[in-house]
Amino acid sequence: MIEVMLILFAPLIGGLMYGFERVLRARMQNRKGPPLLQPFYDMYKLLDKQAFIINPYHTVLGIMHFLTLWTVVAFMIFGQNLLYIIFLHLLSVIFIILAGFSVNSVYSHVGANRELLSALAYEPILIIVAVGFFMMHGSFDISVIRQNSASIVPLFLLFLAFLLLIPLKLKKSPFDAAEAHQEIVGGVEIEFSGVYFEFIYIAKWLEYVFVYLLLVLFAGNNAVLGTVLFLGVFLLVNLVDNATARIKMKHVIQIVLGIALTLGLLNLAGLSYV
């Protein structure tokens, strides 16, 4: 029952995380920042806007992106197979990419292209992280991983590799070229508006839930460690976001694939020798 509630409230939790992040970032920059509930006020305001659509394919694919991502989060909360979840997540990414390409807008195309390229960078790493968990726990099932004790020490290098993915997945500096408001005005988001943009907006929150649910897997059944990890990484990611500048997509792929893949490989090779 608690799981169903969690799934239903997952977008709200994601929204709160997003709101908290904005407050935190403002404090880091010595500003007051928006209230915690600002994302929800934004949502409410969007409801009032006139609805514009470019073409039905674009809008439907955007809605599907949101629905699939919610399903992914639901599967995670239910403790399903991690590898399967990674592929289902890929499906949600594919929907948004197809949406980006279905309109004749340069920014949308560039954004969708970059989205594809970042999927190219993080998918293999996610698969390797899943294999790392499999080697530790003998199963891909999240429910098993959650029951066993924390695996962050033996999987430390994989954990570092995963840290590199978080800014990429959440589109934070220095890996935020896929969204890059100053140059491509949000990429795939640009052509969504009004009530249909809400789906994309909530999907962004769900992305937070997805990433941090993956993160706490490293803590296993240790709730305290899980909380510490979550808060620590949340702080770190925002600190890095504030302190760094955006880099080119080409370099994002080189850095993420180069470093994270090496770290992951070393970790798995080490595990197989133990």
Partner 1 sequence: MYATLILAPLLFALTVLISPLRLRNILSIVFVLFLSAVSIGMNLTLHTPVEASLHQLFHPLFILLDTLVLLYFLWQGVVKNSSLVMLLALLQIVLFGIVLSLSAALDSNDILIESTSTVMYLLINIVGGSIIVFALHYIESEAFGRFKKNAFIAILFFFLSVMNFIVSTNNIEIFFLLFELTTLCSYLLIAYRGEGVSVENSLRALWMNQLGGVAILAALIFSILHYDTVHFDILIANIEEVYLLPIVLLAIAAFVKGASIPFDKWLLGAMVAPTPVSAILHSATMVKIAPYLMLKLAPAMNGFVSLSITLLGTFVFFSAALLALGKDYFKEILGYSTIALLGLMMALAALGTPEAIRACLVLLIFHAISKGLLFLQAGILEKNFHLKYVNDINGLINHSPLVVFFITVGFASLTLPPFGAFIGKFMAIESIAAEIAGSPLYLFALIFLALGSVFLTLLYFKVLTKLFAKDMDAEAGNASPHSPTAYAEISKYYTFPSFLLLFLLVAGIYISFEKELLDSMEIIVPLLLIGLVPLLFATLLFKKAHRVKEYNCGEKEQIKLNMYYFHMPRRIKTYIALTATAALVILMAGVVL
Name the site residues for partner 1 (rule: CB under 8 A): 50-57, 59-61, 63-64, 67-68, 71, 75, 80-81, 83-84, 87-88, 90-91, 94, 97-98, 101-109, 112-113, 116, 119-120, 123-124, 127-128, 131, 134-135, 140, 185, 190-191, 193, 196, 261, 265, 268-269, 271-273
Q: Name which of 144 and 271 has its Cβ closer to partner 1.
A: 271
Give CA–CA dist 42/40, Å, rounded: 5
Cα separation, 84 vs 72, whole angstroms? 9
User: Which of 68/238 has CB closer to partner 1?
Assistant: 68
User: Least distance (Å) from partner 1 to the CB of residue 48?
Assistant: 14
* CA pseudo-torsion sign 107, 242, 264, 152: negative
Nearer CB in complex with partner 1: 163/257: 257
> Please, which residue, 36 or 144, has the CB nearer to partner 1?
144
- Rounded CA-CA distance 268/134 in Å is 10
Distance in angstroms (rounded) separating the CA atoms of residues 155 and 141: 17
Nearer to partner 1, 19 or 186 (CB): 186
Minimum Å gap between C-beta 129 and partner 1 is 10
CB 225 to partner 1: min, Å: 25
Rounded CA-CA distance 236/267 in Å is 23
Residue indicated by tokens 């039905």 = 56
Q: How far is the CB of 81 from partner 1 (least distance, A)?
A: 7
Q: Please list, in sequence order, all residues whose beta carbon lies within 8 angstroms of the beta carbon of residue 236, skipping any fewer than 6 positions away.
A: 163
Closest C-alpha among 262, 201, 274 to residue 18: 201
- Minimum gap (Å) between residue 78 Cβ and partner 1: 8
SS3 141: strand
β-pair partners for 141: 81
Q: Shortest gap between Cβ of 230 and partner 1 (angstroms)?
A: 27
Residue 250 tokens, joined: 């080409």
Which residue in this structure is represented by tokens 């066993």? 148
Nearer to partner 1, 91 or 225 (CB): 91
